[in-house]
């Protein structure tokens, strides 16, 4: 598995674990196991370096993800799509993670 795919999978698993931990109905041992897995994934993520820079795609439209406008989402995703499905998926996940209000726009732009 290439590094980019592993990073995407780790980020998705981290999101899922954070969601599960936010749910109030987690039992003690399950919560402990999830927290331990979250720590391990965070450590692994720190050791991996992506094969591309997601911010470079965001910078097509703006300096920072926090300044990304909804009308620029398509342009950013179009540029990412030129480099393959893995890059596109990573950029989509990044936008959704840091700008959840753009979820509908990202979904509409998906091929």
Per residue in 55-67, pLDDT tens?
888 998 998 899 9
Q: What is the dihedral of CA 42, 57, 86, 79, to 10 degrees?
A: 170
pLDDT band at 73; cut points 50, 70, 90: very high
Per the confidence metrics, is the pTM higher than 0.75?
no
CA distance 110 to 74: 9
Tell me the two tokens of residue 33.
């196991």
CA distance 101 to 99: 5
**b/e map 76-89, b = 16+ CB within 10 Å:** bbebbbeeeebbbb
Give the residue, 96 or 83, on which the prediction is more confident. Answer: 96
pLDDT tens digits for range 11-32: 888 888 888 888 866 667 777 8
């Amino acid at each position: 598995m290439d590094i980019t795919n592993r990073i995407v999978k780790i980020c998705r698993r981290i999101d899922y674990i954070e969601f599960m931990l936010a749910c109030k109905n987690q039992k003690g041992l399950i919560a402990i196991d999830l927290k331990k897995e979250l720590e391990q994934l965070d450590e692994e993520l720190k050791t991996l370096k992506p094969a591309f820079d997601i911010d470079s795609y965001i910078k097509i439209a703006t300096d920072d993800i926090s300044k990304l406008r909804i009308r620029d989402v398509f342009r950013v995703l179009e540029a990412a799509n030129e480099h393959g499905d893995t890059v596109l998926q990573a950029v989509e996940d990044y936008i959704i993670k840091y700008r959840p209000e753009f979820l509908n726009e990202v979904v509409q732009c998906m091929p």
